[in-house]
Chains A and B, each alone.
Chain A
Amino acid sequence: MSVSVKVMYSLRVLGLPPGATAPEIRSAFRRLARTCHPDVAGRQGARKFEQITGAYTFLKGLTQEELRQGQLQEDGASRNERNEPEAFRWGWKRWEKALTWRQKRKERLKAEQGRKERLAQEREEKIRQKREASVESVLARGEKAVENLLLLMEQETQKCNVQDLLLRLSSEVPRVRHLALSRLGTLANRPELLAATLRLLQRWDIDDKTARLVVSLPLAGENHQTLAEKLAGRAQALPDSLLMHLLRLQNSSQTLDRELMERYLQKASPTGIALILRYWPQETFVSSSVLLDLLSRKSEVVLVPLLSIMKQRSVPCPEGGREYLTAHLSHPNVAVRIWAKALLSSCEDSGPFPPL
């Protein structure tokens, strides 16, 4: 293609008259880009955009003289176009002729058709059945494909979601972790996300907001159990609300896991211990080794609820517990002293009377 022809072609692509100037070309390119740039029109426009970009890049590199060359060529072309009306009239006559010929042919065909009609009807019935069967198979294939696609897309989005959540659960910024926890929803039951949640709880300080969010996670029964078991070692750092949730203390419908509660008792903070003791089931009490361990504590936050519960439920004092109780008689806290005394006296009630 010679340069002048290419100039003409390119100008036409941009919808410009011959002899356009460089600013006009830029302007036209922009105007067209507005309608077909992939940012605006999506993939539909890509082809067209490529075309106008090609034309634009070509024209951009030309000088004004070269652009004018296109104009000369165009003038020549438009002279030829002036002959067009005549050619058109000639064309019309021919068209008319063709029309009449077609009409005759149509009539002939109609007669022929009448003869064939019956035959055709029978054939059609057969074809119709065959057709229906094939349509059926096409539809089934299509439905299957769409179904597969939907499934695939769902998996894809879920994978993306899981990745997003995993990344954010391991963030160092507390508020990002909160955001992730609040977005977990039922996905929390997926093993990798459960593990990430667990890592989060083990690694960072658990503030109230984290605790609240973990409590509201819709965890399945066994996942709840694993989380509770794995967190036993960190019982000391767990806020009360989370502790209650993990041990299902407030949930009256379920029986409490006593073994787990004892493990928590050994690690939990004083307030946590008090909390667990308060919810301890009626008919039994802590095993004697754990009880001894608790009795040896010094904090009144543990001792007051412990001793009072022991008294209320008349728990027998374990072997060796008496020494601790006696020691608590001189505890700085008055409540501890009173409860220790009461317990000691009830212990003695059951045993032989000591000399007063």
Chain B
Amino acid sequence: MNGSRNRSVTIGIDLGTRNALCAYMNGVRPVMIPNRWGRISTPSVVGWDRGWVVGEDAVRLSFRGSYPVWWDLKRKVGGEFQALCGEKNCTAQEILVPLLCALREDAEVFLGQFVSSCVLAVPAIFSLLQREAMVRAAEAAGLREVRVINEPTAAALAFGREGRFLVLDFGAGTVDVSVVESEGGVWQVLESVGTSKIGGYDFDLALAEWLRERLRLPDLSPEDPRWRTLVWEAEALKIALSSCQSYDWVPPAIGGTGEMGGAGKIGEAGEPLKGEPLKVEREDLERMVRFSIRRVVHIVRRLWTRHEPEHLLLVGGSSRIPLLREILETEVARPERLSLCAEESIVAGAALCARIGDGRLLLDILSGDVGFLRDGQPEILIPAGTPVPFAARASFMPARSGKVELPIFQNMGDAREERTILSLLTLNVEANVEVEIHCSLSTSGLIHFVLRQGSTQVEMPLFSLKRDILASAPSSGGQRIRDLKLRLTPLEILCSAEQVERLHGLVRQVENIKDGGVSTEILEGIVKDLEVALS
């Protein structure tokens, strides 16, 4: 913690589908932040038991009985999902808040200071809506300043070498493939695609289902503690099978706590439950996951042939699956290991990103076209692959007066086939007067839309831009103030000595205010007024 004690720390957060990690920069090295349970990774699980329960406590809660516990929240963020917590209906984004809160608190305990800014890594395929939901959740958790970056980009940043590489981030809930090129401290994303339909967690569920059938258990509801135990076991089994060909699995004594029938009923099917191990072969697992892995490899191969990168990097827990490595090696290229642990590279990259500016720059791109629908016809305003930040303008001539409804959409998905409506702008317009559309996209991939005709306008503030921390670098106002001072010099001759003194005092004050813009505007106003007064 040398040197970082006095200034505010920005932490990097990788909020995965299955696990969440936190890191910060200690000097030049990213350091993982341990949680309250003494581990580096916190399960991304939130439960409700007359209050929020998160992390390992929530995992334990789910084994204890049928409490509402959410295991797979990240993929539901920004969607329709709603759940009942106590008396209130909560969205996925609201349920994530206590988890992010816990991560923040752990970081605060570890660092011994308040943490209120973070870099949040999200899958590259997250739509603008999902990004915004994540940012809102982080804000509600007390992280006032949030910068969003893409996970594969973060991994490439952590890799740190020059050249062009393809990063495959195969996590528990999403698959992200990005081609990143790095040269002279600039990391540029060339293309990124992915899907949230495939993930390691789905493999766990499939394996759990298979185990359930082997144990001849009845259908179990997702809230059932026995099902949770099975999924938990399946995950451990999957991990074990990555390093051995077959595994003697001892079924846990899943007694259950009543409700579903209790210990007696499970044994009913006649299958012995206690003690006798069940032999699970690696092939059994591979049969279940082969199809999904083929699809991932297909995406990888498509990008590989298009960009011909030099390295293939694998990150994310599911990238350890031997079958994936095997197929990639025979069909695409030999995957390289990051020096870091596969799970840690993303969060390390996020932490590195918090220090962007000193010799490191990240050029990220928009992952899905943004546009608007006009009379049912889609019109693309910012095409996918455009480096952010970006601003675009468009205009159209309304044929008749009245209300104009303009849906703003983003194309997402593997082949950009899914269309997400981000917002609906309505404006009363007059006929034959040009209507302007301004759209600006921030570095974090957050969008701001303005629809304007003359003096009337309507905005889509999915997110207000000023909260983007890294967008306002400290040096921004310096040049402008210098220019204004130059303009002041000829004016000073015309003022009396006492007035000049006051003027200098004002300029000094403005220089000391660090608010990025408003103070400079005030100074500019003064200079203009003076010029008018003295002309």
Contacts and interface: CB of A to CB of B under 8 A. Distances in A.
Interface string B512-535: 010111110011011001100110
B428 interface: no
Nearest to A57: B386
Contacts of B391: 46, 50
B356 A39 contact: yes
A46 B361 contact: no
B471 A38 contact: yes
Contacts of B105: 168, 171-173, 176
Interface string A111-147: 0000000000000000000011011111101110110
A64 to B, nearest CB: 15
Contacts of B108: 168, 175-176, 179
B443, B523, B533 pick with most chain A CB within 10 angstroms: B533
Contact of A31 (B36, B184, B519, B530): B184
Given A42-B472, A139-B499, A30 B186 contact: yes
Interface in A318-337: none
A142 B533 contact: no
Which of under 10, 10 to 19, 20 to 34, or 35 or more describes the interface residues of B?
Answer: 35 or more
Contacts of B529: 138, 141-142
Contacts of B494: 131, 135
Interface in A164-216: 164, 167-168, 171-173, 175-176, 179, 183
A260 interface: no
A35 to B, nearest CB: 10
A226 interface: no
Interface residues of A, number: 50
Nearest to A171: B105
Nearest to B113: A179
Contacts of B443: 38-39
A44 interface: yes
Given A57-B386, A149-B513, A153-B513, A38 B473 contact: yes
Contacts of A38: 389, 443, 470-471, 473
Interface in A12-53: 26-27, 29-31, 33-34, 37-44, 46, 49-50, 53
Nearest to B514: A153
A173 B105 CA distance: 7
19 contacts: A30-B363, A33-B188, A33-B363, A34-B186, A37-B361, A37-B363, A38-B470, A39-B443, A42-B471, A42-B472, A42-B476, A44-B479, A53-B390, A145-B522, A150-B509, A153-B513, A153-B515, A173-B109, A176-B108
Interface of A: 26-27, 29-31, 33-34, 37-44, 46, 49-50, 53, 56-57, 60, 131-132, 134-139, 141-143, 145-146, 149-150, 153, 160, 163-164, 167-168, 171-173, 175-176, 179, 183
Interface of B: 36, 101, 105-106, 108-109, 112-114, 116, 142, 144, 181, 183-186, 188, 190, 356-357, 361-363, 383, 385-387, 389-391, 443, 470-477, 479-480, 494-496, 499, 502-503, 506, 509-510, 513, 515-519, 522-523, 525-526, 529-530, 533-534
